[in-house]
Each structure stands twice: as structure tokens, then as C-alpha cells.
């Protein structure tokens, strides 16, 4: 368990840095990004919030697995006492974990509202900046062509309070963020021009100063490379096109986030009911709830995948936020190598999945054993022998 958590920590530190690249700078002498503050990378607020949120989601997954299998045994009338005890533990732990997921998810969203404003605007389908505190769009149909959300059902003040934790903080809309992206692209073009001149003369102090002044926007200028190879001569229309490319797919993000949050509150309700039934010793007789608990078994995996979709698609078009566009992160491997690798990975992990499901189903069918009781797999059939 400790090893798994440490592994998750380092993975999410790396992912958090890609979402919010702190503690690193571009070195014009070596022409590469270099870590300048390793502790800033480790204690990146985005990484830390993602770590505790992700680990809590894993705890919910484990708790719901135990809850569902225990419900299965109670429905079948098998291993009653063990199932009731397991369900009580799962309900208690799962309730605490599911509450943690929501609280820590809110913290993760708060860090995104400070560092990934376009992601938040896309998740909320917020096209125009509203007077603070902004309203929360509960439901609606985002239209990326008309830049509007049709049939929107809004809750006043709610987004402003969640995203800024104040009644005066402003949540910027997509249109304003696109206009700001155009400014950053123009600033990045100055940095790009300085960088090109430094390639020829790395001791040019004037160009180093220009690069230092505009270097934070260099990644935005690189967005133009998808439109034209010579970015320095980009037209206003091409700059506008590049700026709009910073908007991720709004409708999928809008609905993925709401389904994810809905599942999060469903888990709280499910574990709360389980805790109440366990406390009142009514688990065994509440068959409707047992069926719900059993059918909810895959829900944590669905919620987790939705969460990763929101996190990764929401930062598009960046593989490293504001630094490296996704289209420039493509490796030089041939298409054949990529296809072969993908097919190999899919085949290998599909086999592991099949084996894993088979072993889990087999273990559930056999069931648990108590102290001093022979495991069903250890029982040997004895055939009587007729007396001679």
C-alpha cells in the first residue's frame, strides 16, 4: 500500500507539473527547459491537490468493491456474518473516503481556477465574463459554434463562490480568455524572434533580455506552427485562429464534469445509507439497497475515467500548459512502430484484465473462509470403497 501511494505521488507530481509547470525555466544557452527549483516541483499545489484527490478516489473504489461483493453474499444468503461485518467496515470507510473525494476535488478545482482558467471556463461552458460572483450552469447545451449555452439552468453566485471562494473574485469567460491568448501569442512572437537570433549569436545580451521579458509566452507563439511553418509573419487572422485553438472541446468537458460530480455525490449517499442500515442492523433485510450496491460496482471506475478525461482533455491544446503544444510533442517514431506498440500494449493488458476478472469472479464464487474452516478449493472428494 505504501509503495502504491508513493508511486501515485511521483506520477501525479509529474502530471501536476505538466498542468502547472513551476520550478523550471528555458535556458537560452542550452536551448532547453531545465528544472530550477526541485522543491517547487514536488510541492506544486496542483500536484498535491491531484494526489490526495486521486488517492481518495482509489479508497472509494476499494470500499465500493467490498460493499458490492458483501451485498452479493447477502442477496445469495451466503457468508452472512462475514458479509455484514465487511459491509459495515466498507460503509464507514467509504463514507469518509467519498466525503474526502468531494472536498479534495473542490480543492483541485480551486487550484485549476487559479492556474488553468480556460479549463474552468470550458468545464462551465462560460463564454462571457460575468459580474462577480459568477453563476453556476447546472444544466445546458453548450454550442461551440455559436459560443453560447442553450437552455441553460443557472444557480446564482455558486461558481464565483466555488472557483474563487469569495463574492468579489472574477471568473473569466472563454471569449475574454481567447482575447488574452491573442496578446500572449503576439508577446510570444517577440520571444520566438529573439530565440531565432540567439541561435546565431548566443552571446547577444539584447536578445537575451528580449527573450527573458517575453519568454513566458513562447509556447503560445508555437501554436502558430500548426497553421504555418514561419510563425513570425503570421497574420492577424492566423493569430486569432491560434488563439481559438486554446479552447478545448466544451460540450464533452461540460457533461463529463457533471456526470463525475453526480457520481461523487451518489457515492456519499450510497455509503451513508449503508452506514445507517449497518448501524440499525437492517442490512440483511434491505434487499432493494443490496441490489443498488451490487449494481454500483463499476461506478467508481467510470467516475475515475471521467475525472481523467476532464483533467487531460481540459488542458488541450497543451501537453505542458502554456509551454509545449500537444501537436509538437509527437515523437519521431514511425507509424508502424507506434501501431505495433499500441497493439502489443492493448493485447497484453487485455489478457491481464481477463485473467484478473476470472480470478476475482472465482474467488467471489468460492467465498471467504473462517478460522479453522477448510477452504472449498482444499476439499478432496473421497469415494467410498466397498468392503471385500
Give 259-275 pLDDT, tens digit per residue.
Answer: 999 999 999 999 999 99
pLDDT of residue 32: 84
Q: Which of 137, 176, 107 is nearest to 257 (CA)?
A: 137
Contact 25, 218 (CB under 8 A): no
pLDDT at 383: 44
Per-residue pLDDT, 388: 38
C-alpha 316/C-alpha 307 separation (Å) is 15
Kind plus residue range of the DSSP H or E element containing 273: helix 250-279
| Residue 104: predicted pLDDT | 93
Task: Specify burial of residue 221 (Cβ count, 10 A radius: 0-12, 13-18, 19+).
Answer: buried
Regions in the chain scoring below 70 on pLDDT: 370-388
Distance between the two ends of the chain, CA-based, in angstroms?
Answer: 59
Give the Cα separation of 272 and 367 in Å (integer): 26
Strand-pair partners of 150: 141
CB 277 within 8 A of CB 90: no
**What is the chain's alpha carbon radius of gyration, rounded to the nearest angstrom?**
27
Strand segments (E) across the chain: 24-27, 32-35, 136-143, 148-155, 318-320, 324-325
pLDDT number for residue 385: 45
Question: Which residues have CB under 8 Å from 156's CB, separation 6+?
Answer: 135
Give residue 370's pLDDT: 58
Contact by Cβ (8 Å): 157, 130: no
Q: What is the pLDDT of residue 387?
A: 41
Residue 317: asked if its preceding bond is cis (omega within 30°), the reply is yes
- Could you please report the per-residue DSSP string of 226-259? GT-S-GGG--HHHHHHHHHTTS--HHHHHHHHHH
Residue that is written with C-alpha cell 500494449 in the block: 345
Amino acid at each position: 500500500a505504501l509503495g502504491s501511494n508513493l508511486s501515485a505521488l511521483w506520477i501525479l507530481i509529474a502530471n501536476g507539473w505538466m498542468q502547472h509547470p513551476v520550478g523550471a525555466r528555458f535556458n537560452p544557452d542550452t536551448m532547453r527547459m531545465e528544472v530550477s527549483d526541485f522543491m517547487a516541483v514536488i510541492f506544486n499545489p496542483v500536484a498535491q491537490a491531484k494526489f490526495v484527490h486521486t488517492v481518495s478516489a482509489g479508497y472509494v473504489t476499494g470500499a465500493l468493491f467490498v460493499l458490492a461483493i458483501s451485498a452479493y453474499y447477502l442477496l445469495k444468503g451466503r457468508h452472512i456474518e462475514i458479509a455484514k461485518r465487511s459491509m459495515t467496515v466498507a460503509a464507514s470507510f467509504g463514507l469518509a473516503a467519498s466525503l474526502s473525494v468531494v472536498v479534495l476535488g473542490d480543492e483541485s478545482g480551486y487550484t485549476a481556477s487559479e492556474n488553468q482558467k480556460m479549463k474552468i471556463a470550458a468545464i462551465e461552458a462560460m463564454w462571457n465574463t460575468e459580474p462577480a460572483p459568477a453563476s453556476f450552469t447546472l444544466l445546458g447545451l453548450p454550442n461551440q459554434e455559436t459560443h453560447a449555452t442553450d437552455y441553460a439552468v443557472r444557480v446564482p453566485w455558486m461558481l464565483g463562490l466555488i472557483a474563487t471562494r469569495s463574492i468579489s473574485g472574477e471568473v473569466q469567460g472563454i471569449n475574454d480568455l481567447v482575447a488574452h491568448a491573442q496578446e500572449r501569442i503576439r508577446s510570444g512572437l517577440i520571444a520566438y524572434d529573439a530565440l531565432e537570433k540567439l541561435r546565431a549569436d548566443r552571446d547577444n545580451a539584447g536578445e537575451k533580455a528580449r527573450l527573458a521579458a517575453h519568454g513566458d509566452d513562447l509556447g503560445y507563439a508555437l501554436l502558430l506552427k500548426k497553421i504555418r511553418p514561419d510563425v513570425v509573419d503570421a497574420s492577424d487572422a492566423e493569430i486569432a485562429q491560434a488563439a481559438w485553438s486554446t479552447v478545448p472541446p466544451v460540450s464533452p468537458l461540460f457533461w463529463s464534469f457533471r456526470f463525475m460530480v453526480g457520481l461523487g455525490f451518489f457515492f456519499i449517499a450510497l455509503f451513508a445509507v449503508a452506514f445507517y442500515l449497518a448501524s440499525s442492523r437492517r442490512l440483511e433485510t434491505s434487499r432493494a439497497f443490496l441490489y443498488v450496491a451490487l449494481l454500483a460496482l463499476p461506478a467508481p471506475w467510470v467516475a475515475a475515467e471521467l475525472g481523467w478525461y476532464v483533467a487531460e482533455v481540459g488542458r488541450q491544446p497543451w501537453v505542458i500548459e502554456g509551454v509545449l503544444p500537444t501537436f509538437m510533442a509527437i515523437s519521431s517514431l514511425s507509424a508502424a512502430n507506434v501501431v505495433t506498440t499500441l497493439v502489443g500494449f492493448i493485447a497484453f493488458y487485455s489478457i491481464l484484465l481477463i485473467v484478473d476478472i476470472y480470478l476475482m469472479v472465482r474467488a467471489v464464487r468460492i467465498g471467504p473462509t473462517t478460522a479453522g474452516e477448510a477452504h472449498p478449493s482444499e476439499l478432496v472428494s473421497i469415494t467410498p470403497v466397498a468392503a471385500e
